[in-house]
Structure 1
């Protein structure tokens, strides 16, 4: 298959017609039409139905576009790297992130990224369930504590403790074995006991689930409103520990949260992916934080006040 003809086909499909494709690429309409016809003849299928006013992709055309558009973009990036332009991220960057990260720190990080790399258009999809980067065509998937996957590579940009947090209106039980109202995340396993360390002393309490949420952001807001105690990342609760809006009941023993930026090893690591991962790493690098309020500034939550 001729790569130049495939590239021309994708340009026509992207812009929806020969005239728009010609303006975008600088290639004459007659040349684009001829190359498309030659590609169709080579493949033995009709890729685009030509109407008097509009063009329409056939089923075969949609399949070819969906499977080849990302490859054409990668080839262009390889050409730029070879030509010495590896420092110029460009094109569309499609990122999948969980809701908690999307609604706290991500907005400021993405704003900084697009300001630094104006030739990149970032498309963010919010989904707490894991997605397939290959099938769903995501360049980067951000997840906490992901399952090992040999098809994915990436970097851990944040390691944090899990803590027990509660409203000051909910006093910690004074006796071992006491029951406390608990707000749980849906995906968590039900725990019969919580092992706390309060004022340097170990204490065991029994969580009694009063609310179960599919989103950690909902868990956080419910705990802030006094519904019960919950387990959450320290970075999320730390600003409220300092103001007294929440009380720190101690660190969850033996459990941590590791946030990873993942991408498929089957794709070339493009400049835009490298740049975005580098910005995540810098945002959460302790060496770049001047004081303990860094994460609080990233995660200012006006909706929770």
Structure 2
């Protein structure tokens, strides 16, 4: 009998580089993974992995089997997606990745409503500012902000992302209000570590582009934590309006150099290319697009950006 059930386990081990990593990806125990692979090797009558105490690697037979196993797994997924598309109601387990701050502030508050609308969907949300490989991580889709690199992923633009330069009123009363980008050289500028070039700030002003290399006492990889430092009066920083908007509206933060625009980016839903998009994925993307997919999201209005 063909060991069909072992194919996704084998592919997960090969792609993850280990039994423990595959077990985490599949949500099963390491011993269950080992048993599946052992049974598959016994069925095929050959060894698929070289095993050592520190690592595993594919044998020649394993390389050949992997090529066909990936195709078989893809065909099986396409078959499931095609059948699900006929059923009319989204079902299944949906695995999503989202940036930490955006996920906490703007996706988490929507989950109860989404799951009430689609009771046959279960949802696994991972929030991380690092960009992960969707296939390797076993994800159905991801929410990503910024400029997307070229890839085989399908992307749907959800909303623009604008950033603003902000500081607490207490900081500005203490250190003064910059009038032009060059004035930032005398200020404590706080930086988001995952920016492409966190220390260089680019502005579009009345006379064109201005680039300013800034310095400061804090660089951090989370926008909300950066926002906390700004609220505490530590310095001046760039924040996306989806983080800063409510604080600007309440007067806790003040826009700095508001006549100079920071580069615009966008928020995307990305997912692997398939002939049939799973209904559970389409349902979530459409839901997000309806709730936040606007040319001028509410957080831009809160931050005082013009129409």
Which residue in 1 is equivalent to 2:17? none
Structure 2 CA distance for aligned equivalents of residues 187 and 8 of structure 1: 39
Structure 2 CA distance for aligned equivalents of residues 251 and 223 of structure 1: 20
Structure 1 CA distance for aligned equivalents of residues 5 and 189 of structure 2: 56
Structure 2 CA distance for aligned equivalents of residues 161 and 287 of structure 1: 11
Report the alpha carbon displacement of residue 274 of structure 1 after superposing the two structures with TM.
0.6
RMSD, matched Cα: 4.2
Matched, 1:257 2:265: yes
The residue correspondences of 1:1-305 to structure 2 (distance < 5 A) are 6=4, 43-44=44-45, 72=76, 74-81=78-85, 84-85=86-87, 87-171=88-172, 172-173=176-177, 177-178=182-183, 179-188=186-195, 189=197, 190-191=199-200, 207-249=214-256, 250=258, 253=261, 255-266=263-274, 268-286=276-294, 292=298
Question: 8 Å contact 2:189–2:215 — kept in the other structure?
Answer: yes
Larger Rg: 1
**Matched position secondary structure for 2:217:** strand
Structure 2 CA distance for aligned equivalents of residues 285 and 222 of structure 1: 29
| Structure 1 residues 114 and 69, CA gap change in structure 2 (3 angstroms) | farther
Matched residues, number:
250
TM-score by length of 1: 0.67
Structure 2 CA distance for aligned equivalents of residues 91 and 80 of structure 1: 9
- Bigger Cα displacement from structure 2, 187-196 vs 233-242: 187-196
Listed as ranges, the gaps of 5+ residues in structure 1 are 17-38, 48-58, 297-305
Question: 8 Å contact 1:96–1:142 — kept in the other structure?
Answer: yes
Question: 8 Å contact 2:163–2:262 — kept in the other structure?
Answer: no
Report the alpha carbon displacement of residue 94 of structure 1 after superposing the two structures with TM.
0.7
Report the alpha carbon displacement of residue 44 of structure 1 after superposing the two structures with TM.
4.6
| Structure 1 residues 283 and 97, CA gap change in structure 2 (3 angstroms) | same
Which residue in 1 is equivalent to 2:14? none
- Bigger Cα displacement from structure 2, 264-273 vs 180-189: 264-273
Listed as ranges, the gaps of 5+ residues in structure 2 are 9-22, 29-39, 49-57, 60-64, 303-307
**Matched position secondary structure for 2:80:** helix
**Matched position secondary structure for 2:170:** coil
Which residue in 2 is equivalent to 1:35? none
